Amino acid sequence: MAADERRTSMPGKVMRVCVSAIVAIAWWLSLAWVLGGQAFSSVDMLLRPFGLDDFTGAIMLVAEVASSVVLLFACYQLISNRLNVAFWRVLAAAYGVCLFAVVMLKSVGVREVNFNMVDLLPQLIEYPASVVVNFLLFVPVGALVGWRFRRPLIALPLGLLGIAAVEVVQYALGLGIADVVDVVVDFAGLCLGYLVADVLRLAGVGLNGDGAHVRFARSAPREGAVRTAGMRLGLAAAAAVAVAVTIGVALAHYDYDPYAFMDGMTQEEFEAAMMDGEI
């Protein structure tokens, strides 16, 4: 009987492994494309304070492989609905370290302020990967906030204040630009994470387990909770469409000059000025 059960469950395990592997490979290819392009200089700047900028390529390769392997195990556990608590705690700690490094250490020595929201447009054109990474990094934060606080009118303002406080600390310690664009992008990611956690909670989804392992379980939602979740999803979808249309229209009418920062200098003059420390 036990042998029959194992044979019956084997195709399911193989399918879960295959799906997890596909996700991990897709992640690896995407990460390699992003890190090998626009994000290379950002990673190089992040490693420079530690004297590791000579090993940027090797460190990025290790990060790509390691994160892909971790994602493989994470996907398998999620699909199997059997989460190893120790694994996810280590993953949460690693995420916290990465979040701190990206937010607080990527521009060490810089102290500037930017209140121009229009700067989102050139950032989307020049560094779309950076904008997307900032957005995605705060999705788990939003999910944690949503799991901890039930009232959005309390949770979301607290999240916004926290993000703004990070920007202030960046400026105060000379760790980067206190940028309103970062505040908006990070807060958008937080809102998405909060929405996901809030909808799952309203739908009666929770975690049950024995301590070492937990699984998602669904209980009967409270009366009116499903309707509330639907309304919030609808409002969020409408807001997302409105923002996307607004940004799209703005980009279509934005007069982008990729050489504006050179202030009329030729490429050779600009490079010479950089070498002389004038810029």
Q: Are residues 117 and 76 in the same domain?
A: no
Structure tokens at 92: 């949460």
Q: Are residues 36 and 172 in the same domain?
A: no
**Domain extent at residue 141:** 107-252
Kindly report, residue by residue over 76-135, the tens digit of the pLDDT: 999 998 899 999 999 999 999 888 888 887 777 778 888 888 888 888 887 777 788 889
Kindly report, residue by residue over 20-53, the tens digit of the pLDDT: 999 988 888 877 776 665 566 666 666 666 677 6
**Mean pLDDT score across all residues of the chain:** 80
Q: Are residues 123 and 61 in the same domain?
A: no
* Domain membership flag for residue 41: yes
The Cα–Cα gap between 269 and 15 comes to 58
* Domain membership flag for residue 276: no
CA dist 1 → 8, 11, 72 (Å) = 11, 17, 31
Structural domains of the chain, count: 2
CA dist 202 → 122, 215, 228, 235 (Å) = 39, 17, 8, 16
pTM > 0.85: yes or no: no
- Lowest mean pLDDT of 58-72, 92-106, 210-224, name the range: 210-224
